[in-house]
């Protein structure tokens, strides 16, 4: 989102053009899910922007509800859909206090043991009735038995409007499987505290948050909702970004989030974030979630989730501001900076190849 003085005026919000949702194939009623609620002051920052973590949590709630309902649509063993992965999510347009968020979820592909759900978020100005797209996201779920959390059940198949849609879904499924394996291989980093760090260095802005997982954070299985985890990750990433530039900051995008292991009720989780790369007007923050199981069966700490968040800095008028460049000192920091630069240039090239929205053609 971007800076906004309050409920959007009839002209729109912060000079962002309205986005247009492309047509999708028809789906059965049981494959669709809708939810809406008004954005309150405790959902937003001081500038009136709704926190990215709030939106991510609403997206996951819709995805979990849609996939769980579908996986229980046929007679058999009951289950709850567990979040396995969230594809890259861009924040297309701001959402502000007083607007109504409309969240819709649709199942677009099923494999034998997984469900792909595509979620769209629209912001409605209740004074004018105008709506605009703020987010689109793709999430992957697996159905876990209510009787045995380690048992993955089979997913009822969906009907496709055409063979090409099924083939495209299979391609997305194989791509996300490969990316999850790659992420696991590079997931051993640890963030250590730095004393008396200089401004604009990695150590100066890195931050951690410790959270005890309670019943309200969990599913029927007693494991943390993916949306709760993403909200906490966004909070830490936001603190890192704010410490670095000391201005109003907002979430611009989130790279694919992979949920490596489940987090059980009673665990203490540590969410750690550090800046890895800065361009002229954006900041990339790497966030880890480590879990310490203390209840029932004490075990060693393990890495549960990891992701990269991108933030931008805004002026009081909601315009992008230049970002102070990150000062890298160690060889590891230099390597992570170059890796982040590669991701930044790759996404920049992809955006340039994408066709403009339908309303701008």
- Asked whether residue 292 is assigned to any structural domain, the reply reads yes
Average pLDDT, the chain: 87
Of 176, 210, 240, the one marking the end of a domain is: 176
Per-residue pLDDT band for 339 (boundaries 50, 70, 90) equals very high
* Catalytic site positions: 45, 234
For 314, counting Cβ atoms within 10 Å of its Cβ (0-12 exposed, 13-18 middle, 19+ buried), the class is buried
- Asked whether residue 204 is assigned to any structural domain, the reply reads yes
For range 110-121, the mean pLDDT: 96
285 and 231, same structural domain? yes
115 and 52, same structural domain? yes
39 and 168, same structural domain? yes
- Asked whether residue 249 carries a pLDDT value surpassing 80, the answer given is yes
141 and 74, same structural domain? yes
- Asked whether residue 210 is assigned to any structural domain, the reply reads yes
For range 282-302, the mean pLDDT: 87
- Asked whether residue 361 is assigned to any structural domain, the reply reads no
- Asked whether residue 10 is assigned to any structural domain, the reply reads no
99 and 220, same structural domain? no
Query: Which has more confidence, 27 or 255?
Result: 255
Between CA 77 and CA 54 the distance in angstroms is 32
152 and 64, same structural domain? yes
Per-residue pLDDT band for 192 (boundaries 50, 70, 90) equals confident
**Of 89-93, 174-178, 357-361, which range is least confident?**
357-361
pLDDT, residue 5, reads 41
- Asked whether residue 152 carries a pLDDT value surpassing 60, the answer given is yes
Between CA 101 and CA 181 the distance in angstroms is 34
pLDDT, residue 356, reads 55
pLDDT, residue 193, reads 75
What tokens were used for 45? 């920052």
DSSP assignment string, 202-248: HHHH-EEEEEE--GGGB-TTSBB-HHHHHHHHHHHHHHHHHHHH-SE
- Asked whether residue 211 is assigned to any structural domain, the reply reads yes
pLDDT, residue 190, reads 72
Q: Report how many domains make up the chain.
A: 2
164 and 127, same structural domain? yes
- Asked whether residue 120 is assigned to any structural domain, the reply reads yes
Of 176, 202, 227, the one marking the end of a domain is: 176
- Asked whether residue 6 carries a pLDDT value surpassing 70, the answer given is no
88 and 134, same structural domain? yes
Of 176, 208, 227, the one marking the end of a domain is: 176
What tokens were used for 312? 């931008």
Please check whether residue 254 is in contact with residue 52, taking contact to mean a CB–CB distance below 8 angstroms. Answer: yes
Between CA 164 and CA 126 the distance in angstroms is 39
Q: Count of alpha carbons within 13 Å of 66, Cβ hemisphere only?
A: 35
95 and 222, same structural domain? no
- Asked whether residue 25 carries a pLDDT value surpassing 60, the answer given is no
pTM recorded for the entire structure: 0.84
What tokens were used for 84? 């396995």
For range 243-249, the mean pLDDT: 93
- Asked whether residue 287 carries a pLDDT value surpassing 90, the answer given is yes
245 and 157, same structural domain? no
| % of the chain with per-residue pLDDT over 70 | 86
142 and 198, same structural domain? no
For range 339-361, the mean pLDDT: 75
- Asked whether residue 212 is assigned to any structural domain, the reply reads yes
Give the residue numbers spanning the domain of 217.
191-351
pLDDT, residue 28, reads 52
pLDDT, residue 183, reads 65
277 and 149, same structural domain? no
- Asked whether residue 120 carries a pLDDT value surpassing 50, the answer given is yes
CATH number (domain holding residue 250): 3.10.129.10
- Asked whether residue 215 carries a pLDDT value surpassing 50, the answer given is yes
pLDDT, residue 12, reads 43
């Amino acid at each position: 989102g971007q800076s906004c003085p309050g409920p959007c005026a009839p002209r729109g919000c912060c000079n962002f053009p309205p986005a247009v949702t492309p047509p999708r194939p028809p789906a059965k009623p049981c494959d669709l899910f809708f939810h809406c609620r008004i954005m309150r002051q405790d959902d937003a920052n001081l500038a009136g922007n709704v926190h990215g973590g709030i939106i991510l949590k609403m997206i996951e709630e819709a995805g979990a509800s849609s996939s769980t309902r579908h996986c229980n649509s046929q007679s058999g063993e009951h289950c709850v859909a567990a979040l396995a992965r969230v594809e890259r999510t861009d924040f297309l347009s701001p959402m502000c206090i007083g607007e109504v968020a409309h969240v819709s979820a649709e199942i677009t592909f099923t494999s034998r043991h997984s469900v792909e759900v595509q979620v769209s978020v629209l912001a409605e100005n209740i004074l004018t009735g105008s709506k605009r797209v703020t987010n689109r996201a793709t999430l992957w779920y697996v159905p876990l038995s209510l009787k045995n959390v380690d048992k993955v059940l089979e997913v009822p198949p969906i009907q496709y409007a055409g063979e090409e849609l099924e083939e495209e879904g299979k391609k997305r499924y194989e791509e996300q499987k490969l990316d999850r394996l790659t992420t696991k291989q590079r997931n051993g980093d640890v963030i250590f505290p730095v004393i008396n760090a200089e401004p604009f260095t990695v150590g100066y802005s890195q931050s951690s948050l410790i959270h005890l997982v309670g019943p309200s954070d969990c599913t029927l299985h007693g494991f943390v909702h993916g949306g709760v985890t993403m909200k906490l990750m966004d909070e830490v990433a936001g603190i890192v970004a704010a410490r670095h530039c000391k201005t109003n900051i907002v979430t611009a995008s989130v790279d694919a989030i992979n949920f490596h292991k489940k987090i059980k009720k009673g665990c203490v989780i540590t969410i750690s974030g550090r800046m890895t790369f800065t361009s002229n007007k954006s900041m990339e923050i790497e966030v880890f979630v480590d879990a310490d199981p203390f209840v029932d069966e004490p075990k060693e700490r393990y890495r549960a989730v990891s992701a990269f968040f991108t933030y931008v800095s805004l002026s009081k008028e909601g315009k992008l501001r230049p970002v102070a460049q990150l000062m890298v000192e160690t060889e590891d920091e230099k390597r992570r900076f170059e890796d982040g630069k590669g991701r930044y240039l790759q996404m920049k090239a992809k955006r340039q190849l994408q066709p403009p929205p339908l309303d701008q053609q």
